[in-house]
Amino acid sequence: MRQEMEYKRFIRHLVDGPQLEKALLRLSLIFLLAMACIWALNAQTSANHTLTLSIGELALLDIEPGASSVSLNMDIPTGAGAPVQLLSDNTIWLNYTSCVAQTSPDRIISVQLSSGALPAGVSLQVTASAPSGIGQGALGISAGAVLVTGTPANVLSGIRGCYTGNGTNNGSQLTYNLVFNSYQDLEAGDYGPFIISYTISN
Partner 1 sequence: MYNSTLSFGCIIVFVSVLLPVFSFSQPTLQLSGSWSCTVQAANVTEAGNDFPSTWTSPPDQVLLSVGGANAKKNRDWTVCVSRSDIDWDPAITVYVVRSSDGTANNPATIAGGAAFQQVTLLSAYFFNGSRNRSNIGIQYQLNGISVLLDARVYSTTIVYTISSP
> Which listed range, 11-19, 84-92, 120-128, 176-184, lies at the site for partner 1 (CB under 8 A)?
11-19
Note whether 166 binds partner 1 by CB under 8 A.
yes
Q: Do 158 and 140 contact (CB within 8 A), yes or no?
A: yes
Of the candidates 64, 60, 86, the residue with the CA atom closest to the CA atom of residue 174: 64
Q: Does 24 bind partner 1 (CB under 8 A)?
A: yes
Site string for partner 1, 107-146 (x = CB under 8 A): ----------------------------xxx---------
Single out the residue of 83, 66, 85, 65 nearest to residue 75, CA to CA: 85
Cβ contact 121:182 at 8 Å: yes
Neighbours of 25 (CB within 10 A): 14
Residue 122 neighbours by CB distance under 10 Å: 18
Q: Which is nearer to partner 1, 135 or 152 (CB)?
A: 135
Looking at beta carbons only, is 165 or 192 nearer to partner 1?
Answer: 165
- The reply to whether 2 sits near partner 1 by the rule CB under 8 A is no
Contact 142, 128 (CB under 8 A): yes
Question: In whole angstroms, how close is the CB of 26 to partner 1 at the nearest point?
Answer: 9
Residue 168 interacting with partner 1 (CB under 8 A): no
Binding segment toward partner 1, per CB under 8 A, in 15-23, 80-88, 118-126, 185-193: 15-23
- Report whether 135 contacts 169 (CB < 8 A): no
- Residues 71-110 touching partner 1, rule: CB under 8 A, are 95-102, 104
